[in-house]
Structure 1
């Protein structure tokens, strides 16, 4: 794995984040708050989880002291979440643009349910991408169930086709 690989995946995740944010800005409050069955209780909670996970991974990579999982305490509005999510995307882009290849094997220490885990940076980054893709798929399903249909593809192949043409 080289720097270009991480920059490409960063471009992909920030591209998909922008699409999701656009979709979330198009739905109404009833759709945003509607309770539905999935890993989380609806669109709002799934979006909060995705943004929270992205934010905390950046905190882990930056070795932020005592990072807090945003969803554990977030009580803000949709617009406030979107502002945090947009800032997180910018922070991710900045972090990866300045991350050196020598650091791809660095050990990242993080907590999962109060248990300390250790993985190499590149492993956590691939998890980060995979996790976002998994929950983004759930979000698309929830949005469809809420009546939103203004989707476009967020596949990695679509990103490559559009960004490299």
Structure 2
């Protein structure tokens, strides 16, 4: 794996998350909070999970204390959107500036349950983008279930085109 590959993935992640944020800016607060059966019980909870995970990984990458937002964050829909965009942009900047020679270096971290773990950066970068992709797919289904159908593609192939 090369740094260029991960730079492209981070750029894709930012692009796709910005598209998803555009959808979220068009729905009502009722749609945002409506109970929808999925991994999480609303669009708000799903967005907060994606945002929380992305921010937690960024904090780990920076050797900062991890603040698991999903347990504490009470922001408005607009604040969720703003923070998600900012976090995705920061993740892209971190990867853009990352030393390619360190891609195979392990990051030692603690999982949310406190268990220590260690994995190479390249696997973690891929995971963060894949995790967001997985849950953005859920958002598409959830948005359709609450009556929002102005969905455009966030597929990687669409990004490359």
- Quote the offset at 1:109 in angstroms: 2.1
Partners of 2:57 and 2:71 in 1: how far apart?
Answer: 15
- Quote the offset at 1:88 in angstroms: 0.5
Partner of 1:157: 157
Partners of 2:83 and 2:36 in 1: how far apart?
Answer: 24
Unaligned runs of 5+ in 1: none
Partner of 1:76: 75
CA deviation vs aligned residue, 1:65-119 (integer Å, no higher than 9, x gap): x211111111111111112112112211211111011110121122222211110
Aligned residue pairs, count: 160
When the two chains are superposed, the root-mean-square deviation of aligned CA atoms in Å is 1.0
- Quote the offset at 1:121 in angstroms: 0.3
The two structures have a TM-score, normalised by structure 1, of 0.93
Partner of 1:46: 46
Trace 1:1-165 onto structure 2 (pairs within 5 A).
1-64=1-64, 66-112=65-111, 113-161=113-161
The two structures have a TM-score, normalised by structure 2, of 0.96
Which contiguous aligned blocks of 4+ residues in structure 1 show a shift greater than 3 angstroms? none
User: Retained in 1: the 8 A contact 2:6–2:126?
Assistant: no
Partners of 1:84 and 1:131 in 2: how far apart?
Answer: 17
Partners of 1:110 and 1:139 in 2: how far apart?
Answer: 29
* Structure with more contact order per residue of length (Cα contacts < 8 Å, sep ≥ 6): 2
